Amino acid sequence: MDDLLSEFLTETNENIAVLDVELVRLEQNPNDPSLLSNIFRLVHTIKGTCGFLGLPRLEAVAHASENVLGRFRDGELNVSPYAVTLILESLDAIKSILLVLEKTEAEPPGNDQDLIDRLNALAEGREAPAAAAPVAAAPPPPPAPEPVPEPVAPPPPAPVAAAPSVPAATTTREVAPVAEAAPPAPAPAATQAPPPPAAAAADGESSLANQTIRVNVDLLENLMTMVSELVLTRNQLLQILRSQKESEFAVPLQRLNHVTSELQEGVMKTRMQPIGNAWAKLPRLVRDLAHELHKKIDLQMLGAETELDRQVLELIKDPLTHMVRNSADHGLESAGGSRAKGKPETG
C-alpha cells in the first residue's frame, strides 16, 4: 500500500473516532463554540485530504457534512438531535468506504447521493422538523471498523500501541497531547465556510507535534523480545557474579543491571495505554441506544487515565461494550416506567 494512503487511513480513522465522541458531546452542549470548532476542523481535514488524494466519494460525503457544520458554526442552523444523527450517519458511511479502501486501495463503486441530498437539505434549512422522528427510531448504524484507540492527533504522527492482530496497520498510542491542525491540502472552492484559524498554524511546525512519532507495532514487539533476552543475560551474569567474592566485573555489571532495568521499564511503558481508549466508542453507542430504546441515559466514565497493557485493553473492549449495551437494554426502565415508580427519568 502506498505510504501516503496508509497514513491517510490511519489518521482518518483516528479523527473519526474523535468525532464520534465529540458529536455526542455537541448534542449535549450545542452552544459550545470550541467544541463545534474542533469538530468542523476535523471534518475539514478529512475532506481536504480526500481531495488531495483523489477520493471523490469520500470527499463528497465529508463536504456535505462540513456544509452543515459550517451552518452550525456561523449560527445559521441550530444543533438538533436529527442533525447530529445525520452527521453521525455520514461518519458511518465514511467508515464503510475506508474499510474497502484499506482492502482494495480504491473506493467502492456507487455513490451516497441520498445521504448527501439529506445533508444538503438540512444545510439549506429545507428539512421538515417532523422528519426527525423516523430517523431517531431507525435501526442503529452498521458496525464501525475497528479503529485504533487513541486518541487523538490528526496530521502529526503519534506513537503506537495497537493489537498485533492487524499487521498491515500502523497504530498509535498517545505520548503527549498534540495540537490539532488541518493538513496543507487544498479545499474545494464549493466550501461554504473559510478554513478555520487553526489551519494557518500548519505553516509552522508545532513543538508539541515534534514530540510524537508513529512506529509499526511489529517493531515494538521485536524490541520487547530483544529486551527480554537482554534481561535473561543480565540475570545470568549477576548469578555468576554472586559466586565470586571479588571481581573486577562487579562495578560494570551493577551498572549494566541498572541500565537494563530502566530499558525494560521504558519499553514496557510503550505498551501501556489509558483505559479511556477502550471507552472511545461508548458515548456514541449509548447515544444511539437512547434514541433506539426511547430511554434517557447518562453515561459516566471515571478513571479514564488509568493505564493498562494494550493487549488487556483489546481483550476487554468487546465484553465492556456488551455489558453497557445490556445495561441500557435490560437494566434501565423507560422514562415513562421510571416516572410511574417515582424514579428519575434518566438512568
* Residues spanned by the domain of 244: 217-270
Q: pLDDT by residue for the chain (347 residues), tens digit each?
A: 677 788 888 888 888 888 888 888 888 888 888 888 888 888 888 888 888 888 888 889 999 999 898 888 888 888 888 888 888 999 999 888 888 888 888 888 888 888 999 999 888 887 544 433 333 334 444 444 444 444 444 444 444 343 333 333 344 444 444 344 444 444 444 434 444 433 333 344 434 345 556 677 788 888 888 988 998 998 888 888 888 877 888 888 888 888 988 888 888 888 788 888 778 788 888 888 888 888 888 888 888 888 888 778 888 888 888 888 888 888 888 777 777 887 888 88
SS3 184: coil
What are the grid coordinates assigned to 149, written together? 484507540
| 151 lies in the same domain as 194 | yes
Residues 6+ apart with CB under 8 A from 62: 43, 46, 47, 50, 90, 94
What sign results for the dihedral spanned by CA atoms 195, 197, 200, 205?
negative
- Flag whether 115 is in a domain: yes
Give the CA radius of gyration of the chain.
Answer: 24
- Flag whether 113 is in a domain: yes
| 46 lies in the same domain as 172 | yes
C-alpha distances in Å from residue 214, one per residue of 119, 157, 293, 315: 35, 5, 40, 23
| 115 lies in the same domain as 142 | yes
Q: Which residues pair with 274 in a beta bridge?
A: 307
The closest of 105, 100, 87 to 47, measured between CA atoms, is: 87
Residues 6+ apart with CB under 8 A from 168: 1, 102
CATH number of the domain residue 191 falls in: 1.20.120.160
